[in-house]
C-alpha cells in the first residue's frame, strides 16, 4: 500500500481525497471496514480526517455507523491478502475496492452484547480506527446534514464497541441533539440497544431529555415496547432521586399530552403498560384530544390492556373530545371482546357522542355486524337516532354495510325501522337508491321497505335513483313496481324528468320501456325533452325523440326545447332538433326565436348551426324591439353587431350561383336582399307566436305587393337602423366589402340613386358655376372705390349713388356685366330651391338633421342670396356690392374668396394652383399680409387664413408622424372604412329623400347579376365601375374564401377539439365497459350470479 501510494505522481494529497461517484473517499471506506493500517497510511499521505460525503458524514461517522463483530490483528496479513483489498489508480486518483473481506463483516444489525470473539484485553491492546481518528483531529461532535453525530449512529446501529470508544474521550457530548432534538439516549431507547443505553446512563446522560416533540427516552421505549429499556430507565431514575424522579418520568407529556402509558397502550405493549401502572402512572390522564388510556386500549383492541386498565380503576365512562366513550371506540373498530367486556363492566349503552351517536349507531355506521349483534343482545336501544334523525338501519344503508344491515334486520323489532326516515323524511331505501347500493336496496325491499315512500320534496326512491343514474337500482325498482315510473315530486317531475335533466340515457331507456310518459310536464310545463335539451345531453335527446317525444312543446313562457338548447349553447342538440324538424320560427313571450336566443346569449356555434340549416330563412324572419333603444331589431342586425363571422355566413346563404367555375361565360349570381334590405318586411304578426310566412310582402316576381308598407315613417330611423348603417356604426369593414353589400348598393344606385344624385349634383354645379362667375365678373368694392377715386372710408350708399351718376351703358362704364345680371336670378332661384330642399330634409330628419354639413349648406345658400340681392336702386344697374355683401360672398364660395385679396388668385385656375402650393406648407404669410400697402377686409382674411393654416398643419403633421411610426396602413384601413361608409350613407341619404311611391317601385327581394357578360354600353360600363368589386372572382372567393394564417390555426384547433371530443367519448365508453367488467368480476367472486353486476350511468362531468 505504501509502495503504491509512493508511486503516485502529482498532487498526492488531492488524489487521495478524491471522491467516487457516490461522493465517498478512500478514508471513508477504510474507516467503514475498520482498516486501521490503511487509515494510518492514508492519513500519513495527507488524507482529510474530517472529509464529508454527500450526506455530510465524516470517516468517524462511518466507523461508528457500521457494526464490526470480528477484528483482524496486525496489518501484515491484510497487506498480503490481495483478494481482500485491491488498490487501483484510476485517472490519477486512488479507488479502494473491497471485493472480499473474509475477516471483516459489514452489517447493520443491532448488537446487544460485546461479541465473545473480542475480549477486553484485546480491545485495550489493539489500535482502533475510532481512537486513531479522534486522536488525529476527527471532530467527535460533528453532525451530518440531519444533525446526527457519530455517537447517534453508534447508538442507532447498536455499535457497542464504537460507543464505548467514543465515551472514553473527554470532549464527547453525549447530550448532542440532531435536527429533531433527539439525543443518543433517544436513539438507544428507540432501537432497543440496552447495553448502549446503560453506557449512556452511566456516562451521565439525562433521563428526561426531550426532543422537538417533547418525547423523552421513556416515551420512545414505551412506544416501541422495549421493556428492558423501560426497566433500565426506571432503575436509573430510582438511583437518582428515587420516587420523585420516577413520578416525574411517568407524568412527562409529549406535544400531544401523551404520557408513557398512553403510548404503550396505543401500541399494545402489555408489559410496558403493566410496568407503568406499577410505577403509579395515572390511568385517567387524558391527552390533548382527551383520549384516555382506556380509549386507546379500546381502539387497539387489546383486551388484556383493557382489563388491566379497568383493574387499576380506569373510568368506563371517560369522554374524549368527540364526547365518545371507550365503548364507542370499541364498537367503531369492531373489537367484540372489548365491547362485551365493557358492557359487563356496566359501560353506558346509550351514551351519545358529539354527533349524537350511541355505540349502536357507531357500530352500524362502521358496518360491524359482530359488535351490532353484541350490543343488540345486551339491550341497546335500536330506535336511537343521531343528530339528523338517522337510525342504525339508515346508517348501515347509507354506508353500504350489507352484513350489518342483515344482522340488524334479523331482529323482528328492528325490521320496522326500514320505513323510518331522517329529518328530511328520506328513508333508508331513498339513500340506498341514491347511492346505487343494489344489494342494500334488495335487502330493504325484501324486508318490507315501501317503494312508494316520499321525502320532504315528494321524491320516491325511484326519483333519486334516476337522478343519480343508478341504472341497476332503477331496473330493480320498476320490475317490482311498474306504477311508480310516473310518480311526481313537489315540482311535478317524474323520474324521467330527473334522469333526462342529468343526462342518464340508460336510465331513461329503462323508464321509457317500462311505461314512463315522454310527454309528461312538470310545474313549469317542461317535458323530459326540455330537460335534456336545456342541459345539452345529446344521447338523451335522441333517445327521447326515438320514443316519439313531442318536439315543440311550449312551457309557460312559450319556450321550446330548441329555445333552451340555443340559449345554453348546445350546438349538437340544436342540430339534432333541427334535423327532426323542430320549429325555428316559434317565438317565446318576448318575441325571440331560437336564433335570437343564440345571439343574445353569445352562442356563435349555435347561431352558425341555425344559419347552415335548411330552415335558416324562417329563423331570420323575426323582429323584436331593442331593449336599449326601442328600435326595431332583427337577427341580421344582431349578427352584424355581435357576431360578424356568423353574419358573413348568413350573407353567403343569401348568394347562389349557377356554376362553380367563375370563368364560365354565363356565370351568374343571384343575391337575396330580403334580410339586408328589410324596410318593407313585417315579421311580427299581431297575436301570433311564430314569424311571418316566407316572402309575404313580395310578389312572385320579387317585387313589393301593394299592401307592403315600411316598418316606420321616420326617415331618420329608417336610415340609422338600416343593416348597412349598422355595419358602418359597428365598423364591420369585412361585411361592408362583401359582394352582397356591393350588389345591394349597386342595385340602389342603378335603380334611383344615380339619377337623383347626378340631378342634384348638376343643380349644385350650375349654382356653383353661376356663383363663381358672378363673383369673378362683378368688380369688388375696393376696385369701384379706386375708379371713383374716393376713400375706403366713404359711405357705401354715397359710393353706390356716385357710381350710378357715372353710369354709362354705352361705354360699359359702371355697367353690370350681362353674366352677372343673368346669374343673379339663377343664383337666387337655385339657392331658394336648395333651401326648400333643406327644409324638406328638416321635416324628414327632424333633430337628426342637425349637423356640421347641413350648417355649411345653410350658410352657403343664405350668403349667396344676400350677395346677389340688390338692397339699393343703384345696385340694379351698376352691380355695386356693399363690403359686407362681398365678405359674405367670400364665405359662400370659400375657394374663390382669395380672388378678392391677392393677385395670385386673379383667376380660378391660378387660385387652384396657389391653394395646392399652400397645402404643402408654402403659406407666404408676409407676402399675403404685408406685400401691398393696403389690406382689404383684414378681419375675414385673418380668420380664413388661420383656419386654413391650422387644418393643413394638422393634416401634414399627422401624415409625417404616420410615416415615421409606420401607421399608414391603419390610416389606409380607416380610409377604406370611411370610403365604404360614405358610399352607404350616400345611398341611404338618396333613398331617404326619394318619395315613397317612387322608392317602393325599385325594392326587390332578389337580383341576378352576370359579372362575365360583356357590354359596350358606356352607361353600363360606368355602372359596373361604380358598383365596387363584383367580379366573378370576388364572388367565388366570397363563397369559398381562402383562409389566412389565423383562420387556419383556428380551423386546426376546431379539428383538434373535435378529435378530443371523440377521444373523450371513447374514454367514456371504455370506462363504462370497465365498470361492467368490474361488476361482473365482483359478482363472480361473490358467487351471486351475473345478473347483479353494477352498470351505472355516469356522465362526462361525473
Residue 1090 has pLDDT above 50, yes or no: no
Residue 1058 is inside which H or E element, if any? helix 1045-1086
The pLDDT value given to residue 604: 95
Say which residues have a Cβ less than 8 Å from residue 767's Cβ, sequence separation at least 6.
826, 827, 830, 831, 834, 864
User: From CA 231, how far away is CA 178, in angstroms rounded?
Assistant: 25
* Residues 632-673 pLDDT 10s: 999 999 999 999 999 999 999 999 988 877 787 788 899 999
Q: In this predicted model, which residue has the larger pLDDT, 995 or 28? A: 28
Domain span at residue 1082 reads 1045-1092
Are the beta carbons of 807 and 765 closer than 8 angstroms? no
Confidence of residue 531 (pLDDT cuts 50, 70, 90): very high
Task: At 59, list the grid cell.
Answer: 470517516
* Domain-located, residue 107: yes
The percent of residues in the chain predicted with pLDDT above 90, rounded, is 49
Distances (CA, A) of 979 to 816, 911, 951: 44, 28, 21
User: What angle (nearest 5°) sits at the alpha carbon of residue 917, between those of residues 912 and 922?
Assistant: 140
Distances (CA, A) of 1049 to 1044, 1052, 1056: 9, 5, 10
User: What angle (nearest 5°) sits at the alpha carbon of residue 1067, between those of residues 1064 and 1073?
Assistant: 145
Task: At 529, list the grid cell.
Answer: 325533452
User: From CA 576, how far away is CA 565, in angstroms rounded?
Assistant: 10
Mean pLDDT of 142-163: 93
Burial class (CB in 10 A: 0-12, 13-18, 19+), 682: middle
The pLDDT value given to residue 252: 95
* Domain-located, residue 220: no
Confidence of residue 858 (pLDDT cuts 50, 70, 90): confident
* Domain-located, residue 186: yes
- Residue with grid cell 484510476, as numbered in its chain: 90
User: From CA 506, how far away is CA 495, in angstroms rounded?
Assistant: 13
Residue 910 is inside which H or E element, if any? helix 908-919
Q: Give Cα 733 distance to the centre of its chain.
A: 31
Last residue of a domain, one of 188, 206, 224: 206
Mean pLDDT of 708-736: 89
The pLDDT value given to residue 957: 73
What CATH number does the domain containing 103 carry? 1.25.40.20
User: What angle (nearest 5°) sits at the alpha carbon of residue 309, between those of residues 307 and 314?
Assistant: 120
The pLDDT value given to residue 396: 96
User: From CA 218, how far away is CA 226, in angstroms rounded?
Assistant: 9
User: From CA 722, how far away is CA 720, in angstroms rounded?
Assistant: 6
How many domains are contained in the chain? 2
Residue 449 has pLDDT above 50, yes or no: yes
User: From CA 742, how far away is CA 1007, in angstroms rounded?
Assistant: 12
Task: At 1021, list the grid cell.
Answer: 360600363
Residue 80 has pLDDT above 50, yes or no: no
Last residue of a domain, one of 182, 206, 230: 206
Q: In this predicted model, which residue has the larger pLDDT, 909 or 816? A: 816
User: From CA 1032, how far away is CA 1009, in angstroms rounded?
Assistant: 10
Which residue, among 854, 859, 864, has the nearest Cα to 993 in the 3D structure? 854
- In degrees and rounded to multiples of 5, residue 825 shows phi and psi of -75, -35
User: From CA 246, how far away is CA 230, in angstroms rounded?
Assistant: 11
Confidence of residue 1 (pLDDT cuts 50, 70, 90): low
Residue 338 has pLDDT above 50, yes or no: yes
- Residue with grid cell 352484513, as numbered in its chain: 403
Mean pLDDT of 672-699: 74
The pLDDT value given to residue 76: 40
* CA torsion through residues 673, 676, 682, 687, sign: positive
Are the beta carbons of 803 and 874 closer than 8 angstroms? yes
The pLDDT value given to residue 1055: 84
* Domain-located, residue 912: no
Confidence of residue 920 (pLDDT cuts 50, 70, 90): low
Which residue, among 418, 398, 349, has the nearest Cα to 377 in the 3D structure? 349
What three-state secondary structure class fits 936? coil
User: From CA 1080, how far away is CA 482, in angstroms rounded?
Assistant: 27
The pLDDT value given to residue 265: 96
Confidence of residue 865 (pLDDT cuts 50, 70, 90): confident
Mean pLDDT of the chain: 81
Residue 808 is inside which H or E element, if any? none
Mean pLDDT of 820-845: 80
Which residue, among 243, 234, 178, has the nearest Cα to 207 in the 3D structure? 234
Q: Which alpha helices (H) appear in 399-470, and where do they start and end?
A: 402-409, 412-415, 428-435, 438-446, 461-467
Task: At 647, list the grid cell.
Answer: 353574419
Mean pLDDT of 856-878: 72
Which residue, among 241, 195, 251, 242, has the nearest Cα to 218 in the 3D structure? 251
Last residue of a domain, one of 176, 206, 236: 206
The pLDDT value given to residue 489: 95
HSE-CB of 85 using CA atoms within 13 angstroms = 22
The pLDDT value given to residue 82: 35
* Residues 191-210 pLDDT 10s: 999 999 999 999 999 999 99
What is Dmax (Cα atoms) for the chain?
163
Mean pLDDT of 725-747: 90
Any idea what DSSP says for residue 96?
E
* Domain-located, residue 377: no
**pTM of the full structure:** 0.74
Ranking 37-41, 117-121, 581-585, 689-693 by mean pLDDT, the lowest is 117-121
Mean pLDDT of 398-416: 95
Mean pLDDT of 696-715: 85
The pLDDT value given to residue 123: 43
User: From CA 298, how far away is CA 338, in angstroms rounded?
Assistant: 7
User: From CA 521, how far away is CA 250, in angstroms rounded?
Assistant: 73
First-last CA distance in the chain:
71
Are the beta carbons of 909 and 893 closer than 8 angstroms? no
* Domain-located, residue 940: no
* Domain-located, residue 45: yes
Confidence of residue 433 (pLDDT cuts 50, 70, 90): very high
Confidence of residue 874 (pLDDT cuts 50, 70, 90): low
* Domain-located, residue 71: yes
Confidence of residue 834 (pLDDT cuts 50, 70, 90): confident
CA dihedral 543, 548, 554, 559 (to 10 degrees): 30
Confidence of residue 127 (pLDDT cuts 50, 70, 90): very low
* Residues 762-789 pLDDT 10s: 887 888 788 777 777 776 666 655 565 5
Residue 614 has pLDDT above 90, yes or no: yes
* Residues 266-318 pLDDT 10s: 999 999 999 999 999 999 999 999 999 999 999 999 999 999 999 999 999 99
Are the beta carbons of 768 and 1001 closer than 8 angstroms? no
Are the beta carbons of 817 and 879 closer than 8 angstroms? yes
Pairing of strands 93-97, 86-90: antiparallel
- Residue with grid cell 364507542, as numbered in its chain: 328
Confidence of residue 1012 (pLDDT cuts 50, 70, 90): confident
Residue 111 has pLDDT above 70, yes or no: no
- In degrees and rounded to multiples of 5, residue 931 shows phi and psi of -80, -30
The percent of residues in the chain predicted with pLDDT above 70, rounded, is 76
Q: In this predicted model, which residue has the larger pLDDT, 9 or 217? A: 217
* Residues 1040-1082 pLDDT 10s: 776 566 767 777 888 888 888 888 878 888 887 887 787 777 7
User: From CA 286, how far away is CA 294, in angstroms rounded?
Assistant: 10
Are the beta carbons of 830 and 763 closer than 8 angstroms? yes
User: From CA 252, how far away is CA 218, in angstroms rounded?
Assistant: 9
User: From CA 257, how far away is CA 266, in angstroms rounded?
Assistant: 13
Residue 686 has pLDDT above 50, yes or no: no
Amino acid at each position: 500500500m505504501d509502495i503504491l501510494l509512493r508511486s503516485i505522481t502529482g498532487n498526492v494529497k488531492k488524489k487521495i481525497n478524491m471522491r467516487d461517484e457516490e461522493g465517498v473517499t478512500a478514508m471513508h471506506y477504510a474507516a467503514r471496514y475498520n482498516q486501521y493500517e490503511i487509515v494510518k497510511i492514508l492519513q500519513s499521505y495527507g488524507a482529510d480526517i474530517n472529509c464529508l460525503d454527500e450526506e455530510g458524514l465524516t470517516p468517524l461517522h462511518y466507523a461508528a455507523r457500521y457494526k464490526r463483530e470480528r477484528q483482524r490483528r496486525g496489518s501484515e496479513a491484510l497487506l498480503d491478502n490481495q483478494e481482500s483489498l485491491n488498490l487501483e489508480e484510476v485517472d490519477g486518483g486512488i479507488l479502494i475496492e473491497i471485493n472480499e473481506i473474509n475477516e471483516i463483516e459489514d452489517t447493520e444489525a443491532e448488537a446487544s452484547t460485546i461479541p465473545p470473539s473480542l475480549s477486553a484485553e484485546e480491545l485495550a491492546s489493539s489500535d482502533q480506527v475510532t481512537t486513531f481518528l479522534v486522536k488525529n483531529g476527527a471532530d467527535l461532535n460533528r453532525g451530518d446534514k440531519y444533525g446526527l453525530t457519530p455517537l447517534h449512529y453508534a447508538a442507532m446501529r447498536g455499535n457497542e464497541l464504537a460507543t464505548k470508544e467514543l465515551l472514553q474521550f473527554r470532549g464527547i457530548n453525549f447530550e448532542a441533539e440532531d435536527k429533531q432534538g433527539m439525543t443518543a439516549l433517544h436513539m438507544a431507547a428507540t432501537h432497543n440497544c440496552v447495553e448502549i443505553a446503560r453506557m449512556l446512563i452511566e456516562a451521565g446522560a439525562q433521563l428526561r431529555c426531550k426532543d422537538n416533540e417533547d418525547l423523552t427516552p421513556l416515551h420512545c421505549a414505551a412506544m416501541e415496547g422495549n421493556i428492558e429499556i423501560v426497566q433500565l430507565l426506571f432503575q436509573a431514575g430510582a438511583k437518582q432521586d428515587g420516587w420523585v424522579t420516577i413520578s416525574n418520568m411517568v407524568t412527562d407529556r409529549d406535544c400531544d399530552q401523551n404520557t408513557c402509558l398512553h403510548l404503550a397502550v396505543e401500541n399494545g405493549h402489555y408489559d410496558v403498560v403493566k410496568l407503568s401502572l406499577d410505577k403509579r402512572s395515572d390511568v385517567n390522564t387524558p391527552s390533548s384530544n382527551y383520549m384516555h388510556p382506556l380509549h386507546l386500549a379500546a381502539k387497539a383492541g387489546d383486551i388484556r390492556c383493557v382489563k388491566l386498565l379497568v383493574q387499576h380503576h380506569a373510568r368506563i365512562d371517560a369522554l374524549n373530545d368527540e364526547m365518545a366513550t371507550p365503548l364507542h371506540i370499541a364498537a367503531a373498530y369492531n373489537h367484540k371482546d372489548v365491547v362485551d367486556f365493557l358492557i359487563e363492566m356496566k359501560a353506558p349503552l346509550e351514551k351519545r357522542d358529539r354527533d349524537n351517536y350511541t355505540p349502536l349507531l357507531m357500530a352500524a355506521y362502521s358496518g360491524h355486524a359482530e359488535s351490532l349483534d353484541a350490543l343488540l343482545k345486551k339491550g341497546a336501544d335500536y330506535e336511537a337516532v343521531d343528530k339528523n334523525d338517522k337510525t342504525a338501519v339508515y346508517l348501515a344503508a347509507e354506508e353500504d354495510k350489507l352484513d350489518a344491515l342483515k344482522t340488524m334486520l334479523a331482529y323482528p323489532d328492528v325490521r320496522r325501522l326500514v320505513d323510518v326516515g331522517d329529518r328530511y323524511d328520506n328513508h333508508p331505501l331513498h339513500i340506498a337508491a341514491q347511492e346505487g347500493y343494489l344489494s342494500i336496496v334488495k335487502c330493504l325491499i325484501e324486508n318490507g321497505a315501501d317503494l312508494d315512500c316520499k321525502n320532504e320534496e315528494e321524491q320516491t326512491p325511484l326519483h333519486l335513483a334516476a337522478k343519480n343514474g343508478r341504472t341497476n337500482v332503477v331496473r330493480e325498482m320498476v320490475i317490482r313496481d311498474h306504477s311508480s315510473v310516473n310518480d311526481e315530486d313537489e315540482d311535478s317531475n317524474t323520474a324521467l324528468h330527473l334522469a333526462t335533466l342529468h343526462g342518464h340515457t340508460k336510465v331513461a331507456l329503462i323508464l321509457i320501456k317500462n311505461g314512463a310518459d315522454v310527454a309528461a310536464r312538470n310545474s313549469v310545463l317542461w317535458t323530459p325533452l326540455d330537460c335534456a335539451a336545456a342541459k345539452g345531453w345529446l344521447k338523451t335527446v335522441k333517445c327521447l325523440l326515438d320514443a316519439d317525444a313531442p318536439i315543440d312543446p311550449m312551457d309557460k313562457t312559450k319556450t321550446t326545447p330548441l329555445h333552451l338548447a340555443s340559449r345554453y349553447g348546445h350546438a349538437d342538440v340544436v342540430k339534432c332538433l333541427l334535423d327532426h324538424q323542430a320549429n325555428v320560427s316559434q317565438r317565446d313571450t318576448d318575441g325571440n326565436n331560437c336564433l335570437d336566443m343564440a345571439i343574445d346569449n353569445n352562442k356563435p356555434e349555435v347561431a352558425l348551426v341555425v344559419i347552415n340549416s335548411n330552415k335558416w330563412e324562417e329563423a331570420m324572419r323575426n323582429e323584436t324591439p331593442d331593449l336599449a333603444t326601442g328600435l326595431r331589431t332583427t337577427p341580421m342586425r344582431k349578427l352584424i353587431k355581435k357576431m360578424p363571422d356568423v353574419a358573413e355566413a348568413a350573407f353567403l346563404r343569401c348568394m347562389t350561383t349557377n356554376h362553380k367555375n367563375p370563368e364560365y361565360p354565363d356565370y351568374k349570381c343571384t343575391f337575396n336582399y330580403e334580410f339586408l334590405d328589410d324596410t318593407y318586411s313585417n315579421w311580427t304578426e299581431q297575436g301570433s307566436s311564430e314569424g311571418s310566412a316566407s316572402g309575404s310582402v313580395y310578389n312572385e316576381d320579387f317585387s313589393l305587393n301593394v299592401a307592403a308598407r315600411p316598418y316606420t315613417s321616420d326617415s331618420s330611423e329608417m336610415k340609422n337602423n338600416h343593416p348597412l348603417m349598422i355595419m358602418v356604426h359597428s365598423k364591420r369593414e369585412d361585411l361592408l366589402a362583401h359582394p352582397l353589400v356591393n350588389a345591394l348598393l349597386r342595385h340602389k344606385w342603378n335603380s334611383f340613386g344615380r339619377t337623383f344624385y347626378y340631378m342634384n349634383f348638376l343643380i349644385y354645379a350650375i349654382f356653383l358655376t353661376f356663383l363663381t362667375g358672378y363673383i369673378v365678373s362683378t368688380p369688388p368694392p375696393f376696385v369701384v372705390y379706386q375708379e371713383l377715386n374716393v376713400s375706403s372710408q366713404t359711405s357705401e350708399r354715397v359710393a353706390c349713388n356716385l357710381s350710378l351718376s357715372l353710369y354709362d351703358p354705352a361705354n360699359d362704364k359702371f355697367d353690370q356685366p350681362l353674366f352677372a345680371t343673368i346669374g343673379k336670378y339663377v343664383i337666387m332661384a337655385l339657392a331658394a330651391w336648395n333651401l326648400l330642399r333643406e327644409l324638406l330634409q328638416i321635416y324628414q330628419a327632424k333633430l337628426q338633421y342637425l349637423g356640421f354639413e347641413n350648417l355649411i349648406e345653410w350658410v352657403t345658400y343664405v350668403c349667396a342670396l344676400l350677395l346677389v340681392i340688390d338692397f339699393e336702386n343703384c345696385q340694379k344697374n351698376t352691380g355695386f356690392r356693399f363690403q359686407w355683401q362681398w365678405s359674405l360672398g367670400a364665405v359662400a364660395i370659400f375657394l374663390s374668396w382669395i380672388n378678392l385679396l391677392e393677385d395670385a388668385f386673379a383667376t380660378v385656375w391660378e387660385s387652384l394652383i396657389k391653394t395646392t402650393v399652400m397645402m404643402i406648407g408654402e403659406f407666404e404669410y408676409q407676402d399675403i399680409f404685408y406685400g401691398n400697402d393696403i389690406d382689404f377686409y383684414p378681419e375675414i382674411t385673418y380668420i380664413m387664413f388661420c383656419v386654413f393654416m391650422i387644418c393643413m398643419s394638422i393634416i401634414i403633421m399627422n401624415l409625417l408622424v404616420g410615416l415615421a411610426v409606420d401607421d399608414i396602413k391603419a390610416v389606409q384601413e380607416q380610409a377604406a372604412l370611411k370610403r365604404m361608409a360614405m358610399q352607404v350613407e350616400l345611398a341611404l341619404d338618396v333613398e331617404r329623400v326619394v318619395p315613397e311611391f317612387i322608392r317602393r317601385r325599385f325594392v326587390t327581394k332578389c337580383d341576378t347579376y352576370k359579372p362575365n357578360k360583356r357590354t359596350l354600353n358606356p352607361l353600363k360600363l360606368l355602372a359596373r365601375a361604380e358598383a365596387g368589386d363584383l367580379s366573378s372572382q370576388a364572388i367565388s372567393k366570397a363563397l369559398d374564401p381562402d383562409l389566412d394564417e389565423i383562420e387556419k390555426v383556428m380551423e386546426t384547433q376546431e379539428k383538434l377539439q373535435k378529435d378530443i371530443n371523440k377521444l373523450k367519448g371513447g374514454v367514456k365508453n371504455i370506462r363504462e365497459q370497465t365498470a361492467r367488467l368490474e361488476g361482473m368480476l365482483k359478482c363472480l367472486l361473490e358467487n351471486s350470479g351475473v345478473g347483479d353486476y353494477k352498470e351505472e350511468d355516469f356522465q362526462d362531468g361525473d
